[in-house]
Copies of this chain bind each other. A is one copy, B any other.
């Protein structure tokens, strides 16, 4: 599946920033496997409920998870599309390098 939507510079910042924390990565992991409430998530970490709530908010701001109300609970769900956008981003960097290798190859081919 190919991802199309482009991200602004700020969105990219938030995306990678959100991924640069082990607790947040673990929340993404868990919620990609199965959705969970903030309280359920908080049980797994050695920090206050409020701290976990903040991490979820950061992930939400980065588009990596979404929250859906269900009664008084908020179900947190991982968003694979945003992971794919990050992948697409990194892929574009790799392409730059490949292009450079190709240029160098062409140079040597000329020499031969």
A interface with B by C-beta (< 8 Å) = 9, 12-17, 19-22, 25, 28-29, 32-34, 78, 80, 83-84, 86-87, 90-91, 93-94, 96-97, 99-100
Partner pick for A90 among B12, B86, B96, CB 8 A cutoff: B86
**Please, which residues of chain B bring their CB within 8 A of the CB of A100?**
32-34
User: Which secondary structure characterizes the binding site on chain A?
Assistant: helix
Whether B83 and A90, one on each chain, are in contact in the complex, defined by CB atoms closer than 8 angstroms, is yes
A1 shortest CB reach to chain B, Å: 10
Please name 4 further chain A to chain B contacts, defined as beta carbons within 8 Å, in addition to the given A16-B17, A78-B93, A83-B94, sorted by A numbering.
A9-B22, A33-B97, A87-B87, A90-B90
Task: From B12, B32, B87, give the contact of A25 (CB < 8 A).
Answer: B12
A78 and B93 alpha carbons, distance in the complex (Å): 10
